[in-house]
Amino acid sequence: MQSQYPDWLRQLAVDGHGPLTLPAIVRGEAYSHTLRLGIDWSADIFACAIRLVPDAGAVLQAITITKGAWDGEVFDLTLSLTLAEVNTISAAATDGDFNGLAEVFYALQRTSGGATRRVLAGNIPIRSEV
């Protein structure tokens, strides 16, 4: 699937914030994906928002973030959405060409020492069950 916002994705690369396309959200299923990071951010606070348009408009859905513990090598962040949240996103994300695919955009932010910064951003495809 080609993104509707390739310029935004290219700018993320220039800025060093991705882009990272996360695994697809499947309509009718809860969502979970774990990011494995090679840095100890276990004491930091994270927030992740999904929007229909990158960096614009209202937040469609906040992603629940569960932090793992730093094991000396990796730190896990698990991003998850309940079935009800997936249904909300699926209903809002339009499939303009009726091919069963749509996309939303996320931005993961990290707060450390009182400063909030974007860590990673990109898109998430939405697809129907196969």
Domains of the chain: 6-127 (2.60.40.10)
Residue 1 carries which side chain, given as an amino acid letter? M
The answer on pLDDT for 4 being more than 80 is: no
Predicted TM-score (pTM) of this structure: 0.88
Give residue-wise pLDDT tens across range 19-36.
999 999 999 999 999 999
The dihedral built from the CA positions of residue 123, 36, 59 and 14, taken in this order, carries a sign that is negative
Radius of gyration of the chain (CA): 15
CB-based contacts of 20: which residues, under 8 Å, 6+ apart?
Answer: 120, 121, 122
* CA 46 from centroid of its chain's CA atoms: 12
Q: Please, which pLDDT band fits residue 57 given cuts at 50, 70 and 90?
A: confident
How would you classify the pairing of strands 45-51 and 31-37?
Answer: unpaired
- The burial class, CB within 10 Å (0-12 / 13-18 / 19+), for 103 is buried
- Chain segment 60-114, per-residue pLDDT in tens: 999 999 999 999 999 999 999 999 999 999 888 876 666 667 899 999 999 999 9
| Distance (Å, whole) CA 86 – CA 27 | 7
